[in-house]
Amino acid sequence: MTEGLTALVVQATSALMPHLMLAPIALPLLTAALMLLMREEHHRLKLTLNVLSTALGLLVALALLLWSDQPGATSSMGVYLAANWQAPFGIVLALDRLSAMMLVLTSVVALASIVFAGARWHRAGVHFHPLFQFQLMGLAGAFLTADLFNLFVFFEIMLAASYGLLLHGSGRPRVQAGLHYIAINLAASSLFLVGVSMLYGITGTLNMADLAQTIPLVAAADRGLLHAAAAILATAFLIKAAVWPLNFWLVPAYSAATAPVGALFALMTKVGIYTILRLWTLLFSSEAGASALFGSLWLIVGGLLTMGFGAVGMLGSQRLTHLAGFAAILSSGTLLAAAGFGQNLLTAGLLYYLPSSTLAVSALFLTADLIDRWRNDGASYAPFEQADNAPFLNAELVPTEGLNLDEDEEVLIGRVIPAAAALLGLAFLFCTLVIAGLPPLSGFVGKVAMLSALLNPLGLASSAGTQPGVPGWTLFALMIATGLLALIALSRAGIRHFWATHERVAPQLRVLEGLPIAVLLALCIALTVIAGPVMQFTQATADALHSPGTYIRAVMQAKPVPGPVTTDRANLPQEAP
């Protein structure tokens, strides 16, 4: 039944390819343009359009994912020549397993965020829904584009929308964090332009596939300038990936944003990770001649330092939104360090870990908003400086009389946990398990896959005698140590917010608030249940990334669609004057 439905979807998608690749970009663009024509008072109508458009985008992304992973096909590449000009002269969109996976992840997080926002946050400011759709347009374009110039264009669309979304809800903390966020991203955009200009001056092209063909042929005298251009360009992407020490802006900005915006912003660091992974494996693969694997050590060291910074930041955080922000940094550092090794098996493990950590961080941002509101009896800002007393002690630190505890501090009469409180507790517990990498959820599976690849880089039956080296052992130790620190930080926050809440009223949750969190965490459980097929998908994705020949040939050999046949007017009989 499932195989038949999959085959039907793949067949229908094949009939619409390659034009269906434009849908993830065009759909949010048209939706945002339509909503800009509506009056701001039409909140309910805009919310409906936003949810429907995002859900339709998710269906399109799922169809593209199934098409890109057809059984028996080593690589299903979709190439769309937007202006009907052959690469590298025209705008090109390219779809493979990696870009399709990122499209699905974006649509899932976006749908959960907009449903959560529908409960209250979407009415906190103007133009929320158009900005949300423009953000999705920029994200989809960044994942699909096949040239650096249009990557810059989509980056700017994404960043321009994020500026407005960060300020949504107003307030001094958001304005202050927004100014820092805008300043650092303008600097990153400037570096992006400088790096792209230098690359164009050296190679004469900005098409990614054409760059991959040209870089091995660069003259030795220009090789240093090429590496400088790549380093400048990588710095812009590393700022978005929140590498240390360029990530000082992330936690204040993400924690100041409203909950649905913070959940959506969890994808922003993954855009930097995606871009680095795409360009590094394409431009500086093992086939890049003298530039092969350029910058790998810098990626590893930067990732390791980012992991340590994120874990220590979590340990020193008190607010839940700060914990979520540092968790995003920790996840980003883990992915960067693993990507720098350039190993197929390790890349497959990090590609499995990427969606699960993103889903968990997004769910933690949403859960933190509900917990803070519950803690502060509905207020939007929780007084985290005030500590709760232990439930069985009074102000003098002696047992409170009349409390439902005996002399041994054992409960006399059981109390039923309210359903809303149980949902928040379970959601926080699941987020903790995934972020800390504890069994049995997908965070543990992803970390075990990466650790196994570190110890067995050639596979279980072929790695005898190989050693991970100092970088490998450092990553191995840091993955375990940072997981422990994350567990301590999140456990401490859980004790504070759930175990020390004896006099707090039951939280008031709406279905639109609880359902998105439950779905995001259910997907983490689903990734665990179907870990085998998912790992097969990520392994195929990693193999294609580290063998870029298929990508290069698909883009460079894509032919324009011939135009309609025109009759030569010279052969027509001339009319008499």
Of residues 468 and 366, which shows the higher confidence score?
366
Token pair for residue 510? 């709406």
**Which residue from 22, 88, 59, 96 is spatially nearest to 560, judged by alpha carbons?**
88
Which residue shows structure tokens 């799922």? 62
Distance separating alpha carbons of residues 554 and 76, to the nearest angstrom: 9
Lowest mean pLDDT among 500-504, 513-517, 557-561: 500-504
Q: By the 8 A CB rule, do 393 and 385 touch? A: no
- Give me the chain's average pLDDT, please: 83
pLDDT, position 33 = 92
- pLDDT of 194 over the 60 cut: yes
Task: Note the pLDDT tens digit of each residue in 253-263.
Answer: 888 888 899 99
When pLDDT is cut at 50, 70 and 90, the band that residue 495 belongs to is confident
Split at pLDDT 50, 70, 90, the class of 312 is very high
Tokens of 445: 């599976």
User: Residue 500: its pLDDT value, please?
Assistant: 60
Residue with tokens 């944003």: 257
Q: What is the per-residue pLDDT for 383? A: 41
Q: What pLDDT was estimated at residue 524?
A: 92
What pLDDT was estimated at residue 577? 43
Q: How many percent of the chain have pLDDT more than 70?
A: 86
DSSP-assigned letters across all residues of 502-524? TTPPPP---HHHHHHHHHHHHHH
The answer to whether 107 touches 139, Cβ cutoff 8 Å, is no
Spatial distance between the Cα atoms of 487 and 482, rounded to a whole number of angstroms: 8
Tell which residue, 178, 175, 173, 181, has the closest CA to residue 381: 173
Which sign does the torsion angle of CA 32, 36, 40, 42 carry? negative
Give the H or E element holding residue 92.
strand 92-95
* Contact by Cβ (8 Å): 142, 274: yes
Residue 97 has pLDDT above 70, yes or no: yes
b/e per residue 531-555 (b: at least 16 CB within 10 A):
beebbebbbbbbbbbbbbeebbebb
Residue 348: both structure tokens together: 């497959």
Global pTM reads 0.86
> What local confidence, expressed as pLDDT, does residue 43 receive?
81
Better pLDDT: 74 or 370: 370
- Reported as a pLDDT band with limits 50, 70 and 90, residue 23 is very high
Which one, of 68, 254, 282, lies nearest residue 166 by Cα? 254
pLDDT, position 396: 47
Whose structure tokens read 């350029």? 294
CA-CA distance, 2 to 204, in Å (whole number)?
Answer: 48
567 versus 489: the higher-pLDDT residue is 489
Give CA 268 to chain center in angstroms: 6
431 closest CA partner among 334, 518, 524, 360: 360
DSSP class of residue 498? I
Using the predicted structure, report yes or no on whether residue 401 has a pLDDT greater than 60.
no
pLDDT in tens, 519-541: 999 999 999 999 899 999 999 99
Tokens 């693969």, residue located:
285
Contacts of 484 by beta carbon, 8 Å cutoff, 6+ apart: 436
CA distance 89 to 556: 10
Q: What is the spatial distance between Cα 419 and Cα 416, in angstroms, rounded to a whole number?
A: 9
Cα–Cα distance measured from residue 551 to residue 507, given in angstroms and rounded to the nearest whole number: 51
pLDDT range class, residue 481, cuts 50, 70, 90: very high
Between 286-300, 370-384, 468-482, 542-556, the lowest mean confidence (pLDDT) is in 370-384
Which residue spans within 457-569 are E strands per DSSP? none
Task: Calculate mean pLDDT across residues 269-278.
Answer: 91
At residue 337 the predicted structure's pLDDT band, cuts being 50, 70 and 90, is very high
Task: Count CB atoms within 10 A of the CB of residue 111.
Answer: 20
Closest CA to 116 of 467, 525, 512, 543: 512
Alpha helix locations (H) across 382-418?
A: none
Q: What are the phi and psi torsion angles at 564 (to 5°)?
A: -65, 145
Dihedral pair phi/psi, residue 351, rounded to 5°: -70, -25
- Is the pLDDT reported for residue 88 higher than 50? yes
65-79, 376-390, 513-527 — most confident range? 513-527
The DSSP code sequence of 13-24 is: HHHHTTGGGGHH
User: Cα–Cα distances in Å, from 114 out to 1, 140, 262, 360, 486?
Assistant: 32, 17, 12, 17, 28
Q: How confident is the model at residue 11, as a pLDDT?
A: 81
DSSP string, 279-344: HHHHHSSTTSGGGTTTTHHHHHHHHHHHHHHHHHHHHT--SHHHHHHHHHHHHHHHHHHHHTT--H
d(CA 82, CA 92): 6
